[in-house]
């Protein structure tokens, strides 16, 4: 195994899910698989696939959480909350100057973010 190729997010409505995740990840590129026509978001080399929840995989917090690297923890957390994500765990300081937390999307799925706080020029940041 060499890298994560896709993250599947299970939601009740694929169209509503795609709209929400496009707002949550504004730098993601919308791509379409051929010949199926399946639409997904490309973030770096990873496909973020919004798929229907079903009897085998429901939406919600139930186990593994993908953590996305962010360059400005506070800005990213504020952005996610501005589009409707709800803080679920944290934030907490981890190794060195890194912070992490989890937010929940409108379907209860967890999104993890991890990264440094933005430091104003010529000043120290503390929490």
What would the pLDDT profile of 44-72 be if each residue is shown by its tens digit?
999 999 999 999 888 888 877 999 999 99
Per DSSP, 23 falls in state H
CA distance 5 to 92: 28
**Residue 24: other Cβ atoms inside 10 A:** 21
| Whether 45 and 66 share a structural domain | no
Least confident of 67-71, 94-98, 117-121: 117-121
CATH code for the domain in which residue 31 is found? 3.30.720
Residues shown for the chain: 127
| Whether 67 and 46 share a structural domain | no
| Whether 2 and 26 share a structural domain | yes
Q: Which long-range contacts (CB under 8 A, 24 or more apart) does 84-93 make?
A: 84/20, 85/24, 85/111, 88/61, 93/127
Task: Check residue 121 and give its pLDDT.
Answer: 60
Give the residue carrying structure tokens 């993250």: 7
Q: What residue numbers bound the domain in which 27 lies? A: 1-53
| Whether 77 and 112 share a structural domain | yes
Count up the domains in the chain and report the number.
2
Q: Is the peptide bond before 12 cis (omega within 30 degrees of 0)?
A: no
């Amino acid at each position: 195994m060499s890298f994560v190729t896709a993250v599947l997010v299970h939601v009740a409505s694929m169209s509503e899910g795609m709209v929400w995740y496009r707002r949550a990840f504004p730098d993601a590129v919308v791509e379409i698989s051929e010949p199926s026509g399946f639409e997904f978001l490309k973030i770096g080399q990873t496909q973020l696939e919004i798929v229907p929840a079903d009897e085998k995989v429901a939406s919600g917090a139930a186990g593994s959480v993908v953590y996305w690297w962010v360059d400005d923890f506070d800005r990213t957390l504020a952005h996610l909350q501005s589009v409707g994500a709800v803080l679920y765990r944290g934030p907490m300081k981890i190794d060195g100057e890194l912070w992490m937390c989890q937010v929940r999307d409108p379907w209860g799925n967890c999104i993890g973010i991890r990264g440094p706080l933005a430091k104003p020029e010529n000043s120290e940041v503390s929490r």
